Amino acid sequence: MTSNVAKGTMTVEKKKNKKRSQWAEVWRRLKKNKMAMLGLAILTILVLTAIFADFIADYDNVVIKQDLVNKLQGPSAEHPFGTDEFGRDIFARMIHGARVSLRVGILAVGISIIIGGTLGAIAGYYGGKLDNVIMRVMDIFLAIPSILLAIAIVSALGPSLMNLMIAIGISSVPSYARIVRSSVLSIRDQEFIEAAKAIGANDLRIILKHIIPNALAPVIVQGTLGVAGAILSTAGLSFIGLGIQPPAPEWGAMLATGRPYLRYAWHVTTFPGLAIMITILALNLVGDGLRDALDPRLKQ
């Protein structure tokens, strides 16, 4: 009896060590990709900046308080990125804008993964008519450009932070549903799934404990790239007035309000535009690095 318990304990430990070694191997391969590590470093700085934005710049007194006497000033020691058309510090507004953009991007992708992943797992696991119905509905959504679908949803619900996240999240659901479905189709007929069924595991346990963990790699990669797309969609919707409403700082809205002053106050639009570009570039670099690190075909 003691011998059986010991063997069981050793088996569990081996599984844990194997799981740890797999993620350690992914991290080891990711560290070899210099561009991915550069993107990760940039993202780390952005996340820390967003977390500690209130300590860097006071929201009420610096970010939204107007100072018309000092409007449209160029970069200086007092205002590193200059001031906007209302005399507000652009650097402070960009810091707080990073919090908004990252929050919308991450939560919108979370909504997409939860809804799309659930639908994709159900369609791929059960197949048949249910699969056909779910995927035809996803095809209908895919036929509509995601930005137009997001515009329609925000227009119907009204412009706000929550509605913006819902709109961008729903518009990206079909992509995650198709990715998860394809992964489930390649996994559901494997031997360990048959073994789980043989010992009496129900469908929910099989999907949550066996299928989803083995289908995470492409979802993680797509999710990283999806955050970049969500941030870009947020900036686009805010640029046309359907996103974050003034005076709240958001990079796309800052581009829109600074557009009339582009010829003689270049800094008003240049720095928010650079922030969007650098953030999306960093996310794409990390996404490409994760794709290479998680792809078993690239292992040496």
- Domain map (residue ranges) of the chain: 49-64+87-298
Query: How many Cβ atoms from other residues are within 10 Å of residue 45's Cβ?
Result: 13
Provide the greatest CA pair distance for the chain.
84
pLDDT band at 275 (very low <50, low <70, confident <90, very high): very high
Q: At 112, is the pLDDT very low, low, confident or very high (cuts 50, 70, 90)? A: very high
Distances (CA, A) of 287 to 35, 68, 99, 116, 254: 11, 42, 20, 19, 27
| Average pLDDT estimate for 219-229 | 87
Give me the amino acid identity at 169.
G
Q: Identify the CA nearest to 213 among candidates 32, 28, 33, 15.
A: 15
Nearest residue to 212 via CA among 277, 117, 139, 137: 117
* Mean pLDDT across the chain: 83
pLDDT over 50 (residue 89): yes
The pLDDT of residue 294 is above 80: no
Residue 296 confidence class, pLDDT cut points 50, 70, 90: low
Residue 44 has pLDDT above 90, yes or no: yes
Q: Quick check: 2 pLDDT over 50?
A: no
At residue 133 the predicted structure's pLDDT band, cuts being 50, 70 and 90, is very high
pTM: 0.81
Average pLDDT in the 185-193 region? 80
CATH homologous superfamily of 49-64+87-298 equals MetI-like (1.10.3720.10)
Q: At what angle do helices 90-126 and 34-51 cross, to 10 degrees?
A: 120
What is the structure's pLDDT at 9? 46
Which residues, in sequence order, are bridge partners of residue 83? 89
User: Average pLDDT, stretch 61-90?
Assistant: 85
